[in-house]
């Protein structure tokens, strides 16, 4: 029996741009939701011209907006607002990542929408959240990394705080929002009521601290997290070590210690009084890390290092350049490398969907829309006649473009 997509029949109005918001609706589209992307006329999502652009088409936009239908609309015009209101009236979910007050001033904030559409789920993604003391502050990914403390603990011990090398705040917030929407849809099945999913980029990153918040109070503030560079300040061996060809990450916890000693050909280290327990390995971590580096760099290849460690079930991995994932057996077998078609760029290689559900029919054949590509289609579904659509286009209420 042919399986329907997980979110088949779920209607989403997407009022997002750039990355955090589009991450949410990308995940929903990949699970089969009908996502109508509202692009503010006349130019649409600014990310259409962002980052790697080829022949006027942004690969960044393609990756984040596959499977969505584009309606390029001036919703500040009365006729455009009527279109938007009609779309929202039939939607299950609205996702937005506008700045503070932008939608409230237009009567499109949560309170106003909930009064008119009590079943509607509204997801808002912002830097600090809608009810924060900092709600009015502007924030992008870098700001969230700083405010959340992620930057404070990232970098070399004697160097400045460093951001993570990808937009972790945006994407992390987007995944949290997608989860919140799923829970809200489940709750609506039981209560019939929608709710507001209020996601803060700062909160989503702050939630990732596993030691930095509870550790200082529990030690009377004697221990506080610091930047540790490429090796752990709390455990050893743990971190990145130079190999014959590149860098290799090793993480040895208590149970892995005996096997690690055998893997590097130093079984006597298991009971060496300097390293016999976690406290000793921590106290003598510089000496121990030196022993590890001497061994890793002496091997014939990085593969030889990995093979020796894996023979004893010691967790390890090469530090790979992201593009090296293309053709890699793990990523290919998990369908995490997707080669997707695009009407302008041809084939585009992107990361796959990490959400794997056994009843979902698998990767869907999705395309990223051209600007306003689905104007007529969406309006026709709302009951607009061809003459009405032509009038809206002539008046600049709806727009379209080649890229």
Task: Provide the annotated active-site residues.
Answer: 170
Write the burial class of residue 62 (CB in 10 Å: 0-12 exposed, 13-18 middle, 19+ buried).
buried
* Cα distance between residue 299 and residue 293, in whole Å: 10
Contact between 186 and 93 under an 8 Å Cβ cutoff? The reply is: no
* Cα distance between residue 99 and residue 66, in whole Å: 24
Residues 6+ apart with CB under 8 A from 70: 37, 39, 44, 369, 370, 371, 372, 373, 374, 375
The tally of CA atoms less than 13 A away on the side-chain side of residue 324 is 5
Q: What are the structure tokens assigned to 124, written together?
A: 């808002």
* Cα distance between residue 31 and residue 50, in whole Å: 26
Q: Where are the beta strands (DSSP E) in 332-391?
A: 337-342, 346-351
Write the burial class of residue 278 (CB in 10 Å: 0-12 exposed, 13-18 middle, 19+ buried).
middle
CA–centroid distance for 189 within its chain: 27
Q: Where are the beta strands (DSSP E) in 81-128?
A: 93-96, 121-126
């Amino acid at each position: 029996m042919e399986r329907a997509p997980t979110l088949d029949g779920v209607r989403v109005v997407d009022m997002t741009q750039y990355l955090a918001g589009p991450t949410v609706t990308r995940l929903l589209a990949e699970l089969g939701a009908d996502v109508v992307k509202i692009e503010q006329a006349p130019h649409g999502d600014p990310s259409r011209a962002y980052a790697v652009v080829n022949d006027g088409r942004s690969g960044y936009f393609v990756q984040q907006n596959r499977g969505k239908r584009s309606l390029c609309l001036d919703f500040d015009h009365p006729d455009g607002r009527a279109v938007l209101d009609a779309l929202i009236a039939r939607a299950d979910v609205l996702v937005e990542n506008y700045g503070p007050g932008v939608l409230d001033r237009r009567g499109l904030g949560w309170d106003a929408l909930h009064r008119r559409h009590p079943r509607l789920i509204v997801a808002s993604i912002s830097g600090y959240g809608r009810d924060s003391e900092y709600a009015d502050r502007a924030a992008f990914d870098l700001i969230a990394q700083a405010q959340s403390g992620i930057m404070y603990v990232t970098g070399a011990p004697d160097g400045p705080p460093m951001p993570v090398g990808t937009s972790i705040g945006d994407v992390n917030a987007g995944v949290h929002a997608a989860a919140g929407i799923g829970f809200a849809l489940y709750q609506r099945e039981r209560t019939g009521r929608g709710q507001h999913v209020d996601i803060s980029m700062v909160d989503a990153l702050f939630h990732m601290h596993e030691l930095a918040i509870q550790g200082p109070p529990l030690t009377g503030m004697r221990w506080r997290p610091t930047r540790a560079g490429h090796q752990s300040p709390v455990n050893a061996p743990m971190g990145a070590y130079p190999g014959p060809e590149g860098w290799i990450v090793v993480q040895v916890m208590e149970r892995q210690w005996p096997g690690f000693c055998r893997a590097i050909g130093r079984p006597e280290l298991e009971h060496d009084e300097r390293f016999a327990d976690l406290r000793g390995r921590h106290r003598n971590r510089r000496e121990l890390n030196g022993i590890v580096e001497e061994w890793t760099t002496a091997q014939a290849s990085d593969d030889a290092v990995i093979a020796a460690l894996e023979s004893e079930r010691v967790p390890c991995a090469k530090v790979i350049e992201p593009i090296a994932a293309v053709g890699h057996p793990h990523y290919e077998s998990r369908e995490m490398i997707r080669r997707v078609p695009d009407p302008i760029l041809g084939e585009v290689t992107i990361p796959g969907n990490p959400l794997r559900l056994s009843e979902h029919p698998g990767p869907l054949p999705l395309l990223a829309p051209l600007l306003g590509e689905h104007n007529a289609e969406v309006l026709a579904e709302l009951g607009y006649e061809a003459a009405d659509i032509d009038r809206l286009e002539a008046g600049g209420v709806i727009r379209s473009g080649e890229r």
